[in-house]
Amino acid sequence: MITIIRLKSQEHKEKFCDYIMSQKDELQKGIEGKGRLLYLSKRAKHEDVSLFIHTLDPDVLGDFIADHLSKIEHITSTWVINMIKPVFYPLPRDTKNMKRYTITLKVFPKNLKDVYQNIATAALPDDLKMAYVAYTCHLFGDCIQFSILAEKEEALKKYLADVINKIPGVLNTTVNLIERTMPLVSYDEWRQYSSNHRIVQSWDEELMVNQFQQ
């Protein structure tokens, strides 16, 4: 399972992301053979950082949070979001002119599957690139999260208004700019790891590996 663990700090907020990155080797040792840290991201205007991690079972994840993450200096709280049925998409090598956003959707329950499938198979304009989509069900009503790279924020807003908000069952969209994304796995490491653990067999491994070449 791939999980997003949001870590919050009340102190040293501006340097918290760098501090977590400085601990990445020790954190990986704490889960060695049982899971893999994938990447760290920071949402603009939020005091938390998001650690994306794959674990082999929920007990491993619980022990990792209690034994390692919760003991990192300055952490005041954690929030766990499971990515259910995630789909990752290939991205261009050069994304320096694009910004990454995450969009969470509040969806009417009976429309959940149709909304997910609409987003997963959508044909985006050339100036937008889908990074991933997954069920998350992390809040009452907030059931789906996806990430898009956009050259211009206006293009994203237009796509959300003209396409996403008009999908039957979509009740609300929340957009967050991702100001930093830091990979914690190399191309070769991911290729070997994903092959060993057969992570979500429906994924195309070549497409998944491309995520970690950025």
- The CATH number that applies at residue 141 is 3.30.70.920
Sorting pLDDT into bands at 50, 70 and 90, what band is 36?
confident
- What's residue 213's pLDDT? 45
Higher pLDDT, 93 or 119: 119
pTM: 0.82
For residue 47, give the H/E element and its range: none
- What's residue 32's pLDDT? 87
DSSP codes joined into one string, 56-112: SSHHHHHHHHHHTGGGSTTEEEEEEEEEEEEEE----S--TT-EEEEEEEEE-GGGH
Contact status, residue 183 vs residue 214, Cβ threshold 8 Å: yes
Residue 188 scores a pLDDT above 90: no
Rounded to whole angstroms, how far apart are CA atoms 54 and 168?
Answer: 32
138 with 207, same domain: the answer is: no
138 with 199, same domain: the answer is: no
80 with 96, same domain: the answer is: no
127 with 48, same domain: the answer is: no
- What's residue 57's pLDDT? 82
Rounded to whole angstroms, how far apart are CA atoms 19 and 6?
Answer: 14
Burial label for 73, CB within 10 Å (0-12, 13-18, 19+), is exposed
- What's residue 113's pLDDT? 95
**If you average pLDDT over every residue of the chain, what do you get?**
85
171 with 94, same domain: the answer is: yes
97 with 175, same domain: the answer is: yes
Residue 193 scores a pLDDT above 70: no
**Segment 132-147, tens digit of pLDDT:** 999 999 888 889 999 9
121 with 38, same domain: the answer is: no
What total number of domains does the chain contain? Answer: 2
93 with 167, same domain: the answer is: yes
Contact status, residue 149 vs residue 92, Cβ threshold 8 Å: no
Could you list the residue range(s) of the whole structural domain that residue 57 is in? 2-85+181-213
CA atoms within 13 A on the CB side of 141: 7
Rounded to whole angstroms, how far apart are CA atoms 128 and 47?
Answer: 27
74 with 94, same domain: the answer is: no
Residue 203 scores a pLDDT above 80: no
- What's residue 202's pLDDT? 47
Residue 196 scores a pLDDT above 80: no
20 with 100, same domain: the answer is: no
80 with 111, same domain: the answer is: no
Rounded to whole angstroms, how far apart are CA atoms 75 and 13?
Answer: 10
- What's residue 183's pLDDT? 83
**Segment 161-172, tens digit of pLDDT:** 999 999 999 999
Burial 135-157 (b: 16+ CB within 10 A, else e): bbbbeeebbbbbbbbbbeeebbe
185 with 175, same domain: the answer is: no
- What's residue 190's pLDDT? 64
